[in-house]
A and B are shown apart, each in its own frame.
Chain A
Amino acid sequence: MAHALTSPTYVQSLRKTLHDVMDQDPAVVVLGEDILDPYGGAFKVTRGLSTRFPDRVLTTPICEGTIAGASVGLALRGMRPVAELMFGDFATLATDQIINHAAKFPAMYNGQVTVPLVIRMPMGGRRGYGPTHSQSLERLFVGTPHIKVVAPSHFHDAGAMLRAAIYDAEPVIFVENKVLYPQRLRLEATDTLISRESVGAPDSYPTVVLRNYAPTEQPDVTVIAYGGMSYLLAPLMARLVEEEIRVLACMPGCLSPLDETPLLEAARATGRVVVVEENSADFGWGAEVAARIYGACYAQLRAPVVRLGAAPTVIPAAKALEDAALVSDESLLSAIMEVLS
C-alpha cells in the first residue's frame, strides 16, 4: 500500500502527460475554457501549461462548437489539438463538429486526410453539480464510426492513455470521470486484496482485469465496467473478499470500437455477468456488451446478463436524490447477488 501512496493521482497523471507532450512536440495545442493560469482549468488538468507554453495554450470564449471545430481544422493542418470541454454535458454543443466533421472527414475524403484530435470531457456525477453538469454523455458517441471513445479508470495509466489518444490517427473522445481526479492510480500488480492485470498494448488503451481472489481459484461472477465505475467497484471487491464472493472485473480502456475478446473470456469464465455503467442502462453501452456476450457465449451463460445503470432520468442536484439516481455500491452488490442467485 505504501507503493500506492507514491503513485500519482488521476489528475496529476493527465497533467504530466500534457506537460510532457507539449514540451516534446510543438504540434500539440491545448484549447478550452478557463484553462489559463492561475486558474488552470475547472478541474486543474491544464494547470501550469499556459505559463510554460503561452503560444500553444489557448483560452477560448464559451463556444464548445468552435473549440471542437477549431480542433478539427488544427488537426487537418498537421497539429495535434487537445481540447477540453469544461463539463462533458457540453458535448452536445460540440457534437456537430465531432460527428459530422471530425469523424466524417477522413472517411468521406476516402482516407486522404487524418483528424488526430482529442476532446477531453469530464463526465459523471457524485459532486452535486445537478442535471446539466453531471451526466455521462459518452453514450452519444459510442458506436459512431471513425472516432474512438476512451475512458480510463483509476486502474488504468490515465496519462499513458492520454498520450496514446494524442498520437492516435483517429479523433478520440477522452472521458474523465470527475470522481477519479483525486484518486491515486492503482497500477501495481497486487495490493493486499485485489490483483490487477493489463491486457492489450500498454501504449494504447488496455483492458484492465481485476481479481479479488487467488489465481488458483475459480471466479463466481464477472463484472464488466469502465471509467468512473472503478471508484465503486474496487472497494466493493475488497469488501466481498470476506464474503468469499470471487469477482472477475473487466474494464476496457476503449469503449468504442470495442475489443470484445477479453470481455468474452471473462464472461465465459463464470457464465454470470453484470454489466454496469454510470449512464442509465437503457439502449446503452452495457446493452451492446450484453448483446455481444449473448451472441458469442450463449451456451456458457448460467444466468441472464444483468445490466445496471443510473435511473432513467436526469442526475438530480440534491445529494440524497443524486445518490439514489446513480449506481451505488449497494445496487451493484444487489446486481451481483441477482446474477449469482
Chain B
Amino acid sequence: MRTDARPPRLDRTATRAATATAAAEPMAERDAQDAQDAQDAHFYSQMYLIRRVEQTLLDLFSQGKLTGTVHTALGQEACAVGVVNALDRERDVIFSSHRAHGHFLVYSDDVGGLIAEVMGRRTGVCGGVGGTQNLHVRNMYTGGIQGGIVPCAVGAALAEKLKGSGAIAVVFLGDGTMGQGAVYEGLNVASLWSLPVLFVLEDNQYAQSTPKALEHAGDIATRPETFAVDRAVVDVDDVRSVYEAAQRAVRHVRERSRPFFLALNTYRLGPHSKGDDTRSPDEIEAYRARDPLPRLAARLGDEEREAIEGRVEERVRQAVEAALAAGVQDLAEFTERMRWHTR
C-alpha cells in the first residue's frame, strides 16, 4: 500500500491501533490472527466469486447465450470487496456505474439475481429490464451514464442527513468518468453542504480504450482538494489495505458528515466489454503479476482455498443453470407493472 504524499489524519489513528495490537498479550495476538485469517477467507470467497461470475458472463457471451454487452472488472475485485465490506449494509446507500457486478455481489451476494439479470431473464434483479449496467437491490443503484450518478448520490446523502439516519452514500467512479462536469458539481455541493458522501475512484487507467494521459490534465486524485474534500490514495495490490483505507474513509464520512475521496489505483485485466482490448499485452502481463486475487489466495491453506473455490463454482453453475431455465418477462407484463406503479 502506498498512501498519498499527504495522508489523511486518520492514518495516524490506524498506526496507534496497530501498535496497541503488537503490544497485547499472546492470546489476543492469536485471536487477532484468527480474525485476520477468517477475514482473508471471507474476502477471498467474495473476490473469487466476482472473478468467476464475470469470467462466466464472458464465456456465456462467447457462446451466444447472452446478448448486448457486459462490462467486467477482472482484476479490480479488491476494490469492491474492500470498500463494500467497510459499509453498513443495513443503511448505507451505494451508487455505481456500468462496471458494478463486483459491488453488487459484495453488497447483495445475489449471484442468481445478477446472472439472470445480465442474461435478460425475468428472474433477474430488475426483471431483465436494466441489464448489466442498471442494477438495483435495496439501497444500491447503478446506472450506465458516466458521472450522472454523482448528483444522485449527493441528493441521497442529503436525504439521509435530513432524515437523521446516520447512513452515508457511496459513489463509485472510474478515471474516465472524472472527465464529466457532473462529478465536480457533486464534489462542490457535497463539500459545501457537508454531506456524508464517500467518493471512490477506481482508477484503472483507461476509459474504455483511451489511456488516462489522453483524457486528463494534471493528477485526477488531487482534484478533490480544491473542493476542501479530504482524500487518500491506495494502490490496490492487497484487499486488506483497501479494506483498511475504506474503513477509515467511511468513519471519516460518517462521524464528521463530510465527503471523502478514496482513490484506488487498480487495473482492469480483462477487456472493457468483450473482445475489445487494444492495450499492450506486455502491460497487461505486468499487471497480471500484481493481481490481488492470487496474492490473497497464497495466504490461505490449499484445503481451505479449494473448498472456497469449489463452493463458488457450484453457486455459479447453479445460477447459470437457473437463469438458462428461466423465461423472459413479456412487455405487456412490464408495462402493466409500470402503469400500476405510477398511479
Contact = CB atoms under 8 A, between A and B. Distances in A.
- Interface of chain B: mostly helix, strand, loop or mixed: helix
Interface stretch (B27-35, B144-152, B237-245): B144-152
A112 interface: yes
Given A65-B182, A110-B129, A76 B152 contact: yes
Contacts of A58: 158, 193
Interface string B119-141: 00000001101100010100001
A78 B159 contact: yes
Interface string B183-217: 00110110011000000000000000000000000
Contacts of A75: 155
Given A60-B189, A61-B188, A63-B189, A77 B127 contact: no
B162 interface: yes
B259 to A, nearest CB: 13
Chain B: interface residue count, which band?
A: 35 or more
Interface stretch (B45-53, B313-321, B333-341): B333-341
A78 B278 CA distance: 44
Residue picked from A70, A72, A104, most chain B C-beta under 10 Å: A70
A213 B163 CA distance: 54
A52 to B, nearest CB: 16
B156 interface: yes
Interface in A242-268: none
A146 B163 CA distance: 27
Contacts of B141: 76, 105, 109, 113
Contact of B185 (A61, A73, A79, A107): A61
A99 B189 CA distance: 22
Nearest to A55: B162
A68 B188 CA distance: 15
Residue picked from B129, B159, B163, B188, most chain A C-beta under 10 Å: B159
B157 interface: yes
Contacts, number: 135
B185 A72 contact: no
B224 interface: no
Interface of B: 93, 126-127, 129-130, 134, 136, 141, 143, 145, 148-160, 162-163, 169, 181-182, 185-186, 188-189, 192-193, 329, 334, 337-338, 340-343
7 contacts: A65-B185, A66-B186, A69-B155, A100-B148, A108-B134, A169-B343, A170-B342
A101 B144 CA distance: 10
A262 to B, nearest CB: 20
B159 A100 contact: no
A108 B342 CA distance: 14
B322 to A, nearest CB: 18
Residue picked from A68, A106, A112, most chain B C-beta under 10 Å: A112
Interface string A169-185: 11000000000000000
B185 to A, nearest CB: 4
Interface string A1-38: 00000000000000000000000000001000000000
Contact of B162 (A56, A65, A104): A56
B127 A74 contact: no
Given A72-B155, A100-B148, A101-B143, 14 more contacts: A65-B151, A69-B185, A71-B155, A72-B152, A77-B93, A77-B155, A77-B159, A107-B338, A108-B126, A109-B129, A109-B130, A110-B129, A110-B334, A111-B337
A170 B192 CA distance: 29
A196 B130 CA distance: 45
A270 interface: no
Nearest to A117: B155
B94 to A, nearest CB: 12
